[in-house]
Structure 1
Amino acid sequence: MKLPHQSDCRYLAWTGMETDLIFKAGIDLPGFASFPLLQDPKMRRVIESYAREQIQLAARHGLGCVLESATWMANLDRAASLGYDASNLVDINRDAIALLADVREQSGAPKVLISANIGPRDDAYAPSDIMSAEDAEHYHTAQIESLVGTAVDMLSAYTFSNSPEAIGFVRSGRKAGFPSVVAFTVETDGRLPTGQTIDAAISVVDAATDEGAAYFMVNCAHPDHFSDTLTGNSRLAGIVVNASRCSHAELNEATQLDEGDPSELGEQIAALVADFPSIRVIGGCCGTDMRHLEEMASRVGGMT
């Protein structure tokens, strides 16, 4: 199956499950980790329900669908504090993909891709120890190699804050035989937490990997934070946005969910797609739910 940047349609993605579970369902997620829920039959059904609803919503509007696995925190460092070791994580990562594969098969819908969601080693918003590209390649290999032989269509590095870690991720994905996607997070000024511009980060990663990433995205930021900084870079093919205009620091301290305005967010996404046709993936991150996705999909689905 073609990846979104190669396809004749756009794709819908969603990485807002964790905030929806915490603030709306009242479910505790220590460390913001959703992968432990896979061990609870009741919560597995909730995750399956989210995936089915996303597939159905995308199909109604003629969009493809990218299902993200619940593995953003399922790497060695971030899972260790929750009591998981390397052997646990192999099974968890594989199980997360198997769950989505079952949902996809049951849906019978065309153009549904399964993405293994890979998170950063350190705090995405305030990285304290930026690895070298070589160290990052070695670090992410453990999680990525656990996915070999599963139904994964692509690897997606979400909320990456710096180019060296992205380089290592892409190199590791290539060695394992997977297409890799890098989603950089940006601050309210449209720059990565390191101060690098989106275009500069893409150029550095491409130069170091011989354009090894399938494409790049921006995620976990409101359109107001980065729309004025976009230049039409053809390598930027996705925007997965927050509902809130708050900064990352403000969101980390929030005790209530800022859902923003779903209709306004849908309009902003449609405007960006109109201005930058190379954007093939749209979707929601923190604070978004199916209402936000509906507003985006209903506006973008009919666009050429």
Structure 2
Amino acid sequence: VAMGQGQSEIALSKLRESAQSGHWLCLKNLHLVTIWLPLLEKALNSLQPHEEFRLWLTAEPHPKFTPILLQSSLKITYEAPAGIKKNLQRTYDSWSPELIARGNNVNKGQSLFVLAWFHAVVQERRTYIPQGWSKFYEFSLADLKAGADILDRLYSNSELKWNTIHGLFENAIYGGRVDNVWDGRVLTAYLELFFNNEVIAGKRPAATHLAPNINIPTTVNYQDYTQLISSLPDDDEPVYFGLPANIERSWQRIASSQVIRSRTNPNTSFSASVRGRIPSQSFHPVRTLHSHYCSSEGS
């Protein structure tokens, strides 16, 4: 049952039926109905379930998700592997060869690859907050799917105009999630940099590349694109994002500082979970090393 407006009673009815018969039930997107979760807890406590009954719950992280329900559940967290290469592989795993080859249009096949690259860049750029984006934006597979559908329809029905793509992606799809002026300018710059006749040149040699040493195939062969993706390095290069070469070092410093704070600040949830098990003096060498590193960087 996909939770949302009008699904609460249906979910409770299915819950009682499944618990009695020993079936499995999955309630999806519980982060959309956090107000309803206490009723779900009450219903669960009143059940006398069949021994084979299982209840699966799916949700995105939400600050108001009831902790009691979390504590009484076995939790599985899925986090996609980081990196542009892995991101592109996930995209092409979700696309069929028919989508790329439909219409036998090389420009369309190249546009889809550029869309996949653009999607990967805006997602993986979130690693470098605040230099990459000012905050974490929820660019999702829904945005990618909407973009692919738009490209497929435009290439099927009319001559594609890049201004149309720029406007739809900037105002209706990806840009709809961005609420910072400077981040909006970055997004616009990416769209103008990637979606143009110099990058997407069809069977002609491209005048501009997406990134160094990346030549977009001039075919509609699905395998050609997946082979290109497989040849990419596993670790992202800052040039892929238009960021300076030392951005990785800056990110490592920020990440290490966050880890150390989570272990030294008694008010953090992590410290609370281990309080009493690990003496605070155990982290003294780590804090000393971190302070020395920061002071040497500043000098």
TM-score by length of 1: 0.27
Bigger relative contact order (CA 8 A; separation at least 6): 1
Higher helix share: 2
Higher strand share: 1
